[in-house]
Amino acid sequence: MSHSRGTSTDTPEPESALDRVKSWYHVPALLLVFGFMLWNRARNYTNFIVDGEVIFSGTDPWYHYRSTMFVVENWPATMPFDPWTRFPYGNRSGQFGTLMDQVFGTISIVIGLGDPSAHTVAMVALFAPAVMGAVAAIPTYYVGRRLAGRIGGVTAAGILALSAGLFLQRSVAGVYDHQVAEGLLQVTSVLAVMVAVSVAERDKPIYEQFLDRDVPALRASVGYAVLAGLAISLYLWTWPPAVLLLGILGVFFLLWLTLEFVRGKSPEHVAISGAVMMTTVAVLQLAVIRRLTISATDHTLLQVLLAAVIAGGCVFMAWLARYVEANDYDRNLYPVVVGGTLAILAVLSAVLTPDLFSYFVDQVLRVVGFTQNPGATTTSVGEATPLQDPSRLYQYHGLALFAAIIGAGFVLFNQLADSEASAEQFLMVVWFAFILAASFTQIRFGVYLVFPVAALSAVAVDYVVRWTDFSFEDGVEAYEVITIVSVVLVLFGTLVLVSPTALAVGGGAGPGEEPAAWTEGMEWLDENSPEEGVYGTGGNGTLEYYGTYADQEDYDYPEGAYGVMSWWDYGHIITVQGERIPNANPFQQGSDAAANFLLAPNETQANGVLETVDEDDETPAETRYVAVDWKMANTYGQGGGKFFAPPRFYDVSNVSESDYYGTIRNRQNPQQYMNYRTQDYYDSMVVRLYEYHGSAKEPQSASQPFVYVVDWDQATTRNGQNIRASPEDGSPAVKRFRTMEAARNFTESDGTAQIGGFGAQPGERVPALEHYRFVGSSETSAYSSGAHNQFQLIESGFGQLPSQRSTTGDCAANQTSMPVGNQTYCMSDAAAGTMDHTNPAWTKLFERVPGGTIEGTAPANTTVEASVPMRNNVTNETFTYTQRVDVGSDGQFEMTVPYSTTGYDDWGTEEGYTNVSVRAQGAYEFSVPVNPQASIPLNGTAEVTEGQVVGEDGSATTVNLSAPDNDQTTETTTDTSTNETSDGTTDGSASGDTSTTDGGETATPNTVARPAAEP
């Protein structure tokens, strides 16, 4: 009998298929989400492998790769100090070389069986962001599950998978940056805090239990709080500016503990959890503190003190609650006392430590102030600028963003209506509010936004499910199914249909054109310049690339070390790909010096900038190279140009972008515009290097017979804005004249016109450089960039320079191919030469040299012109370097030239100099274009050796241009041609050759002498 009863009661009913689905549906759903996220992020990985080499996207991934390689070479240590950036000081790696690099360096060692190759490490770094991005689905699921059950967890993970926002964009393969690690670790930290405070609410720990050492009662509350502190510490170890999360948690504890006490409950339980949690953070941050300063960008006292202050604040608020309750004071006084205490502390801080107070205020406004910090750094760093277009949040998150706002409203209403509402739900609202504000203030914080959006959307879905009373046990009604399906379609439909979609972002992942082109240039620099510590010495390099260097403020570089000047965007690529030391880097270090050099209006000032950063001790180390690309000389920021940025850092005088260029809009199509340039633009070092290779440039020459004039009229838009627009009479905004006199007459009579400023054509003569020579470049041309070509074609249209779309994708031999999107345009080489004076290799390398001295004699009070034909053997581009010098009354002249003509093989990298790829195709030719004593120019030739240019040979080259004995008169020629272009078409034809005078009339023939332009 007993056996029969036991059988009937012990045998469970078999689990139905529906029960199994209800119990386990989240597992395959989560696996599907994880698999999709990993696939979508990694599927384009081959785009990042070029000729067997990994090419990362952006700039920061290069330095993270270097930091990871350092871990591999020095495991388990991370890089304490790096002299391979920010010449001549060096730099502490700060937020780089931290936990993320340590983890993936260790993984590389395991995969490489203890000795991974650089390629193995690069491949690990290539896939690391995709893996981290996919793993983020796990904590996101559990955050959603804690708030809204399994369906909430699946909803949250699904939204994360389909969001096309910054987290996806920063977690595709090839973007080996800390931002993806930030997102993963922040959501993990928030999940850990949610668990800790919920356990504290459940177990209700109190102070007396600590006195009684009641370990069993405290174990869970303290244990989970410590784990939460550990999770937060891992986040801080990866990215020190994660103090943002400490601030969010500080506000959460302040508001929640106050709310709990005012509504009649004890705040002590959660306060204990917060105190333990933050004490753990403070202690663990002491383990990695590097500097006893206050800074968010490195492991400093800031992280320790802020965590300690929050811990102390939790203890104070718990004590204050007991004090108010013990003395039977009105509970509503509690927030008054707390707020008053904070106000008093703020006033005392402002009075006693004004710098510290200002620092915290600035940091708060900089992160969540909805305003842009006016500093040059934040206005020039794309990710630090505020969100200009709020609709982008909808494009990234679809209706999930609005669902999250609704979910936050439900939570807040529940907090007011239910005194038993949980702390973790309130935490989610505080988190969402801060991250949303931060996303508007700096777009880079949008990388976090998807997580609270996903979690609070799950809350909204949960409310809908509960409202419909959806349950399999009670039967499913049609309206319930319709409601749930509608919510799902609305919530996920916008994520799938609104551009950009997650699939589009994943499918479009690639390194872009810039890193590959710079890689070519840096490979040239690595192979053709002397190693660091060898320049000019011919010895062995003394700087170990992955060496361990003591942390210091100013590294003492050895003789033969040198810097490479460039804009700060490219510093990490110079360090990693070129294995050379940049003066400026993406930490924005050296940015002022870089701007001052690139915008220097003359060579003397540029040299002075470099002299201020060169070391002046017994073993001097100097800046020897300059690296520039087309973007640095390009004024179209929308097309990738970067010229707009240096004026914001230039501190020699007060300048702005408007001092260098302005905008003229097409009157018929205001969306189309061109940027005209001022003479200051053409006089800047970056333009003189990139466009002219250090040669002099005339507004008019034999190769460029026209003088260009930029003409505009003032116009007013519908909203009352005054703009420059193309001329009202319908004439072109860019006009051409055959003589400088005609151009000057037009500008003087017009009033809103200037000579030059179109393409590479200045309005005044740009003198030659004496100490900077073009030595190498990338093979890739700027013409391979659609962004470059798009604005070149638009601008050439303003100048009536013909171009046509190619139906075959090919251009004729005398045409320049300019791809834009999936179309190819063809422009004549002559027209392209007007837009770019030299063939625009993407990246160009210049060397700073003492220069060779040329001394000579010539007729007194004349002008000597020296020229030498050059060829870049990387691209087969040819150009001519020219320089002019005035002859004194004694008939003597002297000039310094940066280009040699012979002796290249005598002074290569083994001797500590450059294996130059840009070499002369003949000797220097000298002439006196206008000689008052002879009808024919005086000519001469001379060689300049490489030893003279690099300073190893102090002798001077001599040349004699003495006048002949016979006396002849100056020859003049008569220009009797009509206004006919070189291709035979007359003015107004399709060639766009428009020689005009004031009023647009055709210029009359001119009888002109043929002297050279003024020096």
pLDDT in tens, 597-607: 999 999 999 99
Provide the pLDDT confidence category of residue 1003 given band limits of 50, 70 and 90: very low
pLDDT of residue 92: 84
pLDDT of residue 477: 60
Highest mean pLDDT among 44-48, 92-96, 786-790: 44-48
Residue 482 vs residues 151, 158, 406, 465, 487: alpha-carbon distances, Å: 17, 20, 20, 11, 9
User: Mean pLDDT of all residues in the chain?
Assistant: 87
Residue (of 146, 147, 183) closest to 37 by Cα position: 183
Q: What is the pLDDT of residues 653-679, one digit of tens each?
A: 999 999 999 999 988 888 889 999 999
Q: Residues 473-494: what's their mean pLDDT?
A: 70
Q: What is the pLDDT of residues 57-102, one digit of tens each?
A: 988 999 999 999 999 999 999 988 999 999 999 998 777 768 999 9
Q: Where are the alpha helices (DSSP H) in 136-206?
A: 137-162, 166-169, 178-203
Q: What is the pLDDT of residues 730-781, one digit of tens each?
A: 888 999 999 999 999 999 998 899 999 998 999 999 999 999 999 999 999 9
Distance CA 260, CA 415 (A): 10
pLDDT of residue 377: 54
pLDDT of residue 985: 31
Contact 75, 546 (CB under 8 A): no
State the DSSP H helix or E strand holding residue 656, giving kind and residue range, or none if neither. none
Provide the pLDDT confidence category of residue 397 given band limits of 50, 70 and 90: very high
pLDDT of residue 218: 94
Which residue did the predictor score with more confidence, 491 or 867? 867
Range in 632-636, 687-691, 806-810, 962-966 the model is least confident about: 962-966
The four Cα atoms 74, 79, 80, 84 give a dihedral, to 10 degrees, of 110
Question: How many CB atoms lie under 10 A from the CB of residue 719?
Answer: 5
For residue 613 the two structure tokens come to: 């950063």
Provide the pLDDT confidence category of residue 210 given band limits of 50, 70 and 90: very high
Provide the pLDDT confidence category of residue 469 given band limits of 50, 70 and 90: low
pLDDT of residue 821: 83
Q: What is the pLDDT of residues 246-287, one digit of tens each?
A: 999 999 999 999 999 999 899 999 999 999 999 999 999 998
Distance CA 587, CA 595 (A): 15
pLDDT of residue 792: 87
Distance CA 450, CA 624 (A): 46
Query: Is residue 988 scored above 50 in pLDDT?
Result: no
Distance CA 332, CA 324 (A): 10
Q: What is the pLDDT of residues 95-144, one digit of tens each?
A: 776 899 999 999 999 999 999 999 999 999 999 999 999 999 999 999 99
Distance CA 126, CA 787 (A): 26
Q: What is the pLDDT of residues 897-941, one digit of tens each?
A: 999 999 999 999 999 999 999 999 999 999 986 544 545 567 889
Range in 221-225, 348-352, 384-388, 594-598 the model is least confident about: 384-388
Q: What is the pLDDT of residues 294-309, one digit of tens each?
A: 888 888 899 999 999 9
Range in 49-53, 482-486, 690-694 the model is least confident about: 482-486
Distance CA 233, CA 303 (A): 9
Distance CA 601, CA 687 (A): 10
Query: Is residue 1015 scored above 60 in pLDDT?
Result: no
pLDDT of residue 798: 86
pLDDT of residue 512: 86
User: DSSP assignment, residue 650?
Assistant: -
Query: Is residue 990 scored above 50 in pLDDT?
Result: no
Range in 585-594, 614-623, 927-936 the model is least confident about: 927-936
Provide the pLDDT confidence category of residue 975 given band limits of 50, 70 and 90: very low
Beta bridge pairs of residue 945: 902
Which residue did the predictor score with more confidence, 97 or 166? 166
For residue 559 the two structure tokens come to: 């003789």
For residue 900 the two structure tokens come to: 């040699």
Provide the pLDDT confidence category of residue 379 given band limits of 50, 70 and 90: low
Residue (of 911, 861, 902) closest to 885 by Cα position: 861
Query: Is residue 1007 scored above 80 in pLDDT?
Result: no
Distance CA 769, CA 358 (A): 45
pTM value? 0.87
Distance CA 914, CA 937 (A): 36
Question: How many CB atoms lie under 10 A from the CB of residue 886?
Answer: 12
Q: What is the pLDDT of residues 517-575, one digit of tens each?
A: 999 999 999 999 999 999 988 766 678 999 998 888 889 898 889 999 999 999 999 99
For residue 505 the two structure tokens come to: 């972002």
The four Cα atoms 230, 232, 233, 239 give a dihedral, to 10 degrees, of 150
pLDDT of residue 285: 94
Distance CA 881, CA 920 (A): 10
Residue type, 331: R
Contact 383, 444 (CB under 8 A): yes
Helix (H, G, I), strand (E, B) or coil at 757: coil
For residue 517 the two structure tokens come to: 């082109």
Distance CA 585, CA 310 (A): 35
